[in-house]
């Protein structure tokens, strides 16, 4: 959903920052803006500081909770969930990658010339660290 579809249905909308807004909540008698609206990643987040449920807020303006998501509903089916992260295994593997990199760096510091196999193993361990750093945990 685009910003206009949600924001045009609300009263007294003010921008408070990039992709952040405040407006009067349509689900209760609001004298001053108490509804926080923010767009993040692929969805609109709404919070009424007066205590209204998100479903009450969207229904009050003729929308559904599904309308708060940018992507089509089919992409949110249970089969499309992220794979579970095995944190214990991730820690064990991270320790192993750290040992490999530590040995490699100690050899370099001692003046040992790395061979192609050592370089390949080091690159693999480093790539795994980068992959780990980019994971959405």
| pLDDT the model gives residue 136 | 58
Q: How many domains does the chain have?
A: 2
Over residues 16-30, the pLDDT tens digits come to: 998 899 999 999 998
In the numeric block, the tokens 């593997």 are attached to 93
Distance, C-alpha 62 to centroid of its chain: 27
Asked whether residue 93 is assigned to any structural domain, the reply reads yes
Verify that 103 and 68 share a domain, yes or no.
Answer: no
Verify that 9 and 63 share a domain, yes or no.
Answer: yes
Distance CA 121, CA 117 (A): 6
Asked whether residue 81 is assigned to any structural domain, the reply reads no
Q: What is the mean pLDDT of residues 121-131?
A: 81
In this predicted structure, the answer to whether residue 45 has a pLDDT above a threshold of 70 is yes
Q: How far is CA 124 from CA 96, 105, 110, in A?
A: 12, 14, 22
Provide the β-strand partners of residue 23. 35
Q: List the domain range (segments joined by +) for residue 93.
A: 87-133
| pLDDT the model gives residue 79 | 58
Asked whether residue 25 is assigned to any structural domain, the reply reads yes
Kindly indicate the confidence band of residue 56, based on its pLDDT and cuts at 50, 70 and 90: very high
| pLDDT the model gives residue 97 | 85
Kindly indicate the confidence band of residue 77, based on its pLDDT and cuts at 50, 70 and 90: low
> Residue 44, exposed/middle/buried by CB under 10 A (0-12, 13-18, 19+)?
buried
Kindly indicate the confidence band of residue 93, based on its pLDDT and cuts at 50, 70 and 90: confident
User: Of 74 and 16, which is predicted with more confidence?
Assistant: 16
Distance CA 40, CA 35 (A): 16
């Amino acid at each position: 959903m685009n910003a206009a579809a949600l924001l045009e249905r609300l009263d007294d909308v003010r921008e408070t920052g990039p992709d952040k807004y405040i407006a009067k909540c349509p689900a209760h008698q609001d004298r001053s803006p108490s509804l926080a609206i923010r767009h993040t990643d692929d969805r609109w987040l709404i919070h009424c500081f007066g205590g209204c449920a998100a479903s009450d807020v969207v229904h009050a303006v003729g929308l559904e909770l599904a309308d708060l998501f940018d992507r089509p509903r089919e992409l949110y089916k249970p089969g499309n969930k992220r794979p579970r992260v095995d944190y214990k295994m991730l820690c064990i593997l991270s320790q192993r990658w750290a040992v490999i990199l530590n040995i490699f760096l100690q050899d370099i510091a001692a003046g040992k010339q790395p061979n192609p196999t050592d370089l390949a193993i080091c690159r693999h361990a480093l790539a795994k660290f980068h992959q780990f750093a980019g994971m959405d945990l």
